[in-house]
Amino acid sequence: MKYVILGALSLSVLAACGPANESNKETDKAVADIQDSAFNPNYRDYLKTLSSDEFEGRAPASAGGEKTVSFIENNFREWGLKPYDQENDSYRQPVPLVKLMPYKVSSLSFDGESAPESMKYRTEMMAWTPRVVDEVKVENSDVVFVGYGIVAPEYDWNDYEGLDVEGKTVVMLVNDPGYATGDPELFNGNAMTYYGRWTYKFEEAARQGAEAAFVVHETGPAGYGWGVVAGGSPVRFDLKRENKNMDRSAIEGWITEESANSLFATVGKDLEQMRELALSGEFKPQPLNIEASLTVQNKFEYLDTNNVIGYIEGSKYPEEHVIYMAHHDHLGTDPVREDDPIYNGAQDNASGTAALMAMAEQFAKDPQPERSIVFAAVGAEESGLLGSDWYASHPMLPLGKAVGGINMDVMNVYGPMKDMVVVGYGNSSMEDYLKRYVKAQDRYVAPEPTPEVGSFYRSDHFNLAKRGVPMLYAKGGNDHVEKGREWTEEQRAIFNRDAYHKPADEFDENWDLRGVQQDMSVFYSIGNELANSREWPQWAPGNEFEAARKATEDMRK
pLDDT for 9: 34
Query: Among 226-235, 252-261, 295-304, where is mean pLDDT lowest?
Result: 226-235
Long-range contacts of 136-139 (CB under 8 A, 24+ apart): 136/250, 136/251, 136/295, 136/296, 136/298, 137/250, 137/293, 137/294, 137/295, 138/169, 138/211, 138/212, 138/250, 138/251, 138/292, 138/293, 138/294, 138/295, 139/293
pLDDT for 250: 98
pLDDT for 36: 74
Residue 176 pLDDT class (50, 70, 90 cuts): very high
pLDDT for 31: 52
* Residue 21: pLDDT over 60: no
Residue 331 pLDDT class (50, 70, 90 cuts): very high
How wide is the angle at C-alpha 239 spanned by C-alphas 454 and 354, nearest 5°?
60
Per-residue model confidence as pLDDT tens digits over 373-424: 999 999 999 999 999 999 999 999 999 999 999 999 999 999 999 999 999 9
**Cα separation, 173 vs 221, whole angstroms:** 9
Residue 18 pLDDT class (50, 70, 90 cuts): very low
Q: Decide: 381 and 387 in contact? Cβ < 8 Å.
A: yes
**Cα separation, 398 vs 381, whole angstroms:** 22
Per-residue model confidence as pLDDT tens digits over 190-220: 999 999 999 999 999 999 999 999 999 999 9
* Residue 13: pLDDT over 90: no
**Cα separation, 8 vs 3, whole angstroms:** 9
Please compute the mean of the pLDDT values over residues 457-479 and round it to a whole number.
96
Please compute the mean of the pLDDT values over residues 277-283 and round it to a whole number.
91
Please compute the mean of the pLDDT values over residues 355-361 and round it to a whole number.
98
Residue 33 pLDDT class (50, 70, 90 cuts): low
Q: What is the pTM of this model?
A: 0.90
Q: Decide: 343 and 352 in contact? Cβ < 8 Å.
A: no
Return mean pLDDT, the chain. 92
